[in-house]
Structure formats: C-alpha cells, structure tokens
C-alpha cells in the first residue's frame, strides 16, 4: 500500500503515552468491526479503493448526507429488529417464562415503538412523554411498564386511564399516590417494588444505580424494600406483582447481575415467610453492555438469559420458591449498535503535542448537542472516514464538535487519515442509545434527524429541527 507522501509510513507510527495504538494499514484504519457497526454496514463502490464509501442497508451514507444533511443519525432497521428478536428468543423458554421490555429511554419514536410491538417485546417508559409516544404508536398499554422515581399525578392518571400493565414503584409517596388514583378509578394497579440491591456495578458513577447512596428505589439493606412490600399488601387497589432491580448501564461484569438476582430472590423468600405471598415476577432491569470499540466483548442475549435463568432457578430451588417469571429491560443492547451518526468535517487543526507528536483536532458540524456521552461519561466511540478510503498515513486525532466549550468532544482519541479535509464525512458508530434521546439545543443548535434505512431505502423517523422550531419557543417575538 502506498504511503501518504507527507506523513510517516503505516507501522512506523508511535502513539504518545495513553493513546491507542495506530492502525497497521489502510484496511485497519477503515475497517467496520462487526458488533460495533450496524449489521448491514459495508464498504463498497468503485473499483478504486479510494472511491469506496460506506453503505448501510445498501444505502450510501454520502447519498443520505446529501438528501438529509448532516449531522444525521442513520438507524439500521434490520439490525434493531434482529437484536430485539434475539432478546425475545433468548428468553423464550416454556420452562422459565420471561418477558423482555425494550427500555424506550435509550431511543423512542412511534416507528420504533411499532417495531418493538411487532417483534413481540414489551416497552419500558419512564415519563409521560415516552408513554404518550407509545400510546400514539398504538402500543398495547398492557405490555407497558411505567418506571420513574418521581411520576407525577398527571402521568399516573394518564397511565391508569389507558390501562398501563405495570408500575415499578419507587417511593412511599408513590405507593400512596398510585393507590389513591387507582382506587378512585376502581381499578387494581399491578406493581413491582424497585429494590436498591446494594450492588457496586463497575461502570461510570452516573450510570450505576443499585449502590445505596443514590435516588432510585427502596433500600434492601435499610429495610425500606420490605416496608414497601408491607404497605402495598395492605392496599386493595394495588397488587404486588413482583420485585425489580436495575443495577446500572453498560455493564460487562456478569457477577453484578448474579448478586442482584441472588438478593432479589432472597427478598422474595422473606416476603413469602412474612406474608405467605409468593411474588410472580422478578425484573432484573437492563444495563447489558455493548461494544463501542473492537476491544469490547459483550455477552450475547442468549448467554445472559441462560446465566440469569440459571441463577434464579438455583436460588428459588434452594428456598423452595416457585419459579417466578423473569423480566429484563434492555435499551442500549437493542438500539445502541443499530445507529451511526454521520458528520461533515469542517476544519482540521494540527496541534503540536511535543516529543514529535501531533494531534489533529477535527471539527465536525455537530458535537455535544447530539452526543453528550463523551463529555458526561468519558464514553469512547469508534469513528471512520465514510465518504472515501484514504491511503494517507493515520494521524492521532480528536473529533470535536462546534459548540462553545472545550469539553465538546465526540471521540477523544482516534487515528484518522492524515489527509482529512473539509467536506469529508465521518461516521461515529454505536450512537443509537442515549444520543438522540439526550440531545439538546445547546448554542441554539437544531437537533439532527433520525433516518431509518432498510432494503436500499430510507425514511425519516424524526425530522431535523429547524431554526424556526427553536424561534417558535421565543415568546419575545411578535
Ligand atoms: N431499566 C431501568 C429501570 C433503567 O433505569 C434503565 C436505564 C434501563 C432499564 C435500560 O438500561 P440500558 O439497557 O439501556 O443500559 N444515559 C446513560 C444511561 C442511563 C440509563 C438509565 N436507565 C448513558 O448514556 O449511558
């Protein structure tokens, strides 16, 4: 392979301390690792290597950028459906019945809610907004689970009015509130108690949720979980369906799930001993990690299902409990890898790092307003040049946004071709979860559209916001 005249040759490049190793050749620099990239993503096109662009579901990302503009989220519908179906099948065991609820907080639109329904999954919502989206999509309310640590009266009323299937209760206030509202309507609400099981999940502090000192759930160690059960059992308008735990997000450490399952079953045993009631369900939450880079090696849905089923069965047998239905709530593991964000390069600024090293600051036309995860959680992403293939030697690069903030980083450390130029298109992989969902209008930036691709065609799931959308909120005008 020809080396770029201006730079060193592949294989001769040394990374500065702390930076990832440089790619060994042009192929590695352009590779789309399976699992990180959507399942239909490939590089194809013209004879010349340098003309090869990336297609997803047979659609060239250059054409999508042309048609919809950038930044742009491109969602591979087949990838989403395959992952949803893989979860459904992994938990489809007649001897250990289970339910999978897609966690809509990762990304939700009416089309996505319909896919979730068609693939036979339930849906976890955690706000009135997510609930409304699901209802608008015609999602069966009986298969909706309503989460949240501070559900308002209005949200609970909306849910009760539509017959939402289950409520994961999170506070003593909510128990009283929900019981009163259900009683007013003469209905019985199905509830699960969100239990803080005290597991230290090995993930970023902000996305760990089952250690004691945080806002979610009823503490197991402090006895509040048992007290919540006592109160629910006394209220005729509530039915105790089960126990729930969610230990955090982007978790690879299966031991954390095992400990959590173990503690929930133990609690189920104590509930049986104290009240003579065997809970029908154990919901182990979401949080299964995905591959953001080549080195991440997440468990498959099937492996995870086997592990969870095994532990619940073992613990229940030991305590003489009937096997409860199991539920899980994956969000990221279904939608995360389905989507890439396409950006256009605006400026490239070489910065001398000393000791013979240079870093290229590659500015793109989006940033922390469409992906806050790098700034918020030090998330690591994989980025590729997708509008062509370059044979230029790689340069240590940092993909940054256009926002007025130095922490506005999309990909902290990556190797991109040294000849990157304005107009090139970059794609960042695995941005399906918590990117559009957490997007903001920082610096009065309209949020990008989400376009789904399937069988060579594209369609808009969420349209691009316009400056007029933003100005429409400004009460000072007219
Ligand atoms: N169930 C419950 C009760 C949850 O709170 C969550 C996520 C899930 C399921 C889905 O978790 P997943 O499978 O998607 O990891 N914004 C953060 C993640 C926050 C997750 C909040 N709860 C991020 O970008 O990493």
Mutation probe of ligand 1 site: the residue of 299, 331, 377, 439 with most atoms within 8 A of C-beta: 331
The Å distance, Cα 52 to ligand 1 centre, comes to: 36
Residue-level pLDDT at 44: 83
What is the 347 CA–ligand 1 centroid distance (Å)?
34
Per-residue pLDDT, 46:
63
Atom of ligand 1 nearest to the CA of 437: 16
Round the CA-based radius of gyration of the chain to a whole number and report it.
24
Sign of the CA dihedral running 155, 158, 161, 164: negative
Specify the ligand 1 atom closest to the Cα of 332: 14
Q: How many CA atoms lie within 13 A of 280 on its CB side?
A: 9
Q: How far is CA 392 from CA 27, 386, 396, 399, 412, in A?
A: 11, 14, 13, 18, 21
Average pLDDT, the chain: 94
Comparing C-alpha atoms, which of 99, 32, 57 is closest to residue 426? 32
Confidence of residue 12 (pLDDT cuts 50, 70, 90): confident
Which of 103, 127, 215, 299 has most ligand 1 atoms within 8 Å of its beta carbon, as the pocket-test mutant?
A: 103
Distance from the CA of 82 to the center of ligand 1, in angstroms?
20
144: part of which helix (H) or strand (E)? strand 144-146
Residue 264: Cβ-neighbour burial (10 angstroms; 0-12, 13-18, 19+): buried
CA–centroid distance, residue 73 to ligand 1 (Å): 20
DSSP state of 37: B
Determine the Cα–Cα distance for residues 85 and 300; give it in Å rounded to an integer: 12
pLDDT value, residue 6: 53
Q: How confident is residue 2, by pLDDT bands cut at 50, 70 and 90?
A: very low
Nearest protein CA to atom 16 of ligand 1, as residue = 434
* Nearest ligand 1 atom to alpha carbon 194: 3
pLDDT, tens digit, 9 for 90 and up, residues 111-129:
999 999 999 999 999 999 9
Atom of ligand 1 nearest to the CA of 331: 14
Interval 201-226: pLDDT, tens: 766 666 566 577 778 999 999 999 99
Q: Looking at ligand 1, which residue's alpha carbon is closest to its atom 24?
A: 434
Please state the atom number of ligand 1 nearest to the C-alpha of residue 147: 3
The pLDDT score that the predictor gives to residue 1 is: 40
Question: Of the residues 105, 144, 410, which should be mutated to test ligand 1's pocket, given the most ligand atoms within 8 Å of the CB?
Answer: 105
pTM summary value: 0.96
* Structural domains in the chain, sorted by start: 10-76+338-471 (2.40.37.10), 147-330 (3.20.20.10)
Nearest to 194 by CA among 169, 176, 212: 169
Query: Exposed, middle or buried by CB within 10 Å (0-12, 13-18, 19+), for 5?
Result: exposed
Q: Which residue is closest in CA terms to ligand 1's atom 9?
A: 286
Alpha carbons 106 and 82: distance in angstroms, whole number: 17
Probe target for ligand 1 pocket from 287, 333, 338, with the most ligand atoms within 8 Å of CB = 287
What's the first-to-final CA gap in the chain, in angstroms?
Answer: 62
The residue that leads in pLDDT, 53 or 432, is 432
What percent of the chain lies above the pLDDT cut of 90? 87
Q: Identify the pLDDT of residue 200.
A: 72
Q: Closest ligand 1 atom to the C-alpha of 288?
A: 13
Query: Following DSSP, what letter does each residue of 325-367 receive, concatenated?
Result: EEEE--SHHHHGGGEEEEEEEEEEEEEEEETTEEEEEEEES--
Residue identifier of the C-alpha nearest atom 15 of ligand 1: 287
The per-residue pLDDT for 126 is 98
Q: How far is the CA of 288 from the centre of ligand 1 (A)?
A: 9
Q: Residues near ligand 1 with C-beta < 6 Å?
A: 103, 105-106, 124, 147, 207, 246, 249-250, 285-288, 329-333, 373, 377, 433-434, 438
Distance in Å, CA 10 to ligand 1 centroid: 40
Mean pLDDT of 315-337: 97
Span from the CA of 334 to the centroid of ligand 1 (angstroms): 12
**pLDDT grade for 356, boundaries at 50, 70 and 90:** confident
Catalytic residues: 404
CA–CA dist 452, 130 (Å, integer): 20
| pLDDT on residue 208 | 61
pLDDT score for 56: 98
For 137-163, how does the pLDDT look when each residue is reduced to its tens digit (9 = 90+)?
999 999 999 999 999 999 999 999 999
Q: How far is the CA of 420 from the centre of ligand 1 (A)?
A: 35
Instruction: Say yes or no to pLDDT of 3 above 50.
Output: no
């Amino acid at each position: 392979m020809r080396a770029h005249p201006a730079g060193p040759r592949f294989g001769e490049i040394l990374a500065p301390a702390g930076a990832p190793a440089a790619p060994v050749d042009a192929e590695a620099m352009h590779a789309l690792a399976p699992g990180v990239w959507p399942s239909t993503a490939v590089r194809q096109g013209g004879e010349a290597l340098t003309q090869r662009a990336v297609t997803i579901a047979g659609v060239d990302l250059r054409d999508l950028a042309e048609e919809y503009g950038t930044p742009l989220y491109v969602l591979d519908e087949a990838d989403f459906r395959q992952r949803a179906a893989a979860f459904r099948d992994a938990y489809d065991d007649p001897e250990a019945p289970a339910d999978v609820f897609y966690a809509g907080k990762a990304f939700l639109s009416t089309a996505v809610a319909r896919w979730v329904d068609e693939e036979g999954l339930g849906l976890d919502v955690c706000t009135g907004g997510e609930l409304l989206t699901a209802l608008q999509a015609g999602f069966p309310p009986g298969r909706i689970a309503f989460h949240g640590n501070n559900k308002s009266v209005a949200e609970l009323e909306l849910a009760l009015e539509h017959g939402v299937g289950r409520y994961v209760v999170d506070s003593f206030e909510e128990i009283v509130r929900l019981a009163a509202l259900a009683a007013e309507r003469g209905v019985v609400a199905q509830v699960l108690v969100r239990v803080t099981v005290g597991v230290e999940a090995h993930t970023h502090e902000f996305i760990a949720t089952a250690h004691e000192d945080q806002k979610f759930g009823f503490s197991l160690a402090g006895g509040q979980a048992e007290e919540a059960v006592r109160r629910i059992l006394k209220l005729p308008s509530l039915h105790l369906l089960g126990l729930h735990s969610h230990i955090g997000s982007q978790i690879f450490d299966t031991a954390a799930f095992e400990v959590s399952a173990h503690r929930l079953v133990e609690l189920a045993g104590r509930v049986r001993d104290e009240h003579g009631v065997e809970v029908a369900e154990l919901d182990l939450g979401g949080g299964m990690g995905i591959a953001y880079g080549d080195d991440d090696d997440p468990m498959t849905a099937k492996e995870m299902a086997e592990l969870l089923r095994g532990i619940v069965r073992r613990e229940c047998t030991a305590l003489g409990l009937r096997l409860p239905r199991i539920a899980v709530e994956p969000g990221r593991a279904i939608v995360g890898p389905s989507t890439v964000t396409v950006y256009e390069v605006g400026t490239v600024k070489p910065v001398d790092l000393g000791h013979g090293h240079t870093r290229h600051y590659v500015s793109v036309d989006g940033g922390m307003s469409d992906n806050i995860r790098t700034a918020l959680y030090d998330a690591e992403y994989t980025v590729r040049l997708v509008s062509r293939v370059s044979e230029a030697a790689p340069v240590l690069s940092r993909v940054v946004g256009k926002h007025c903030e130095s922490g506005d980083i999309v990909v902290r450390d990556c190797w991109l071709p040294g000849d990157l130029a304005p107009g090139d298109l970059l794609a960042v992989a695995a941005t399906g979860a918590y990117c559009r969902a957490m997007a903001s209008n920082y610096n009065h930036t309209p949020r990008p559209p989400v376009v789904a691709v399937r069988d060579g065609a594209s369609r808009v799931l969420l349209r691009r916001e316009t400056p007029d959308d933003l100005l429409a909120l400004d009460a000072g005008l007219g």
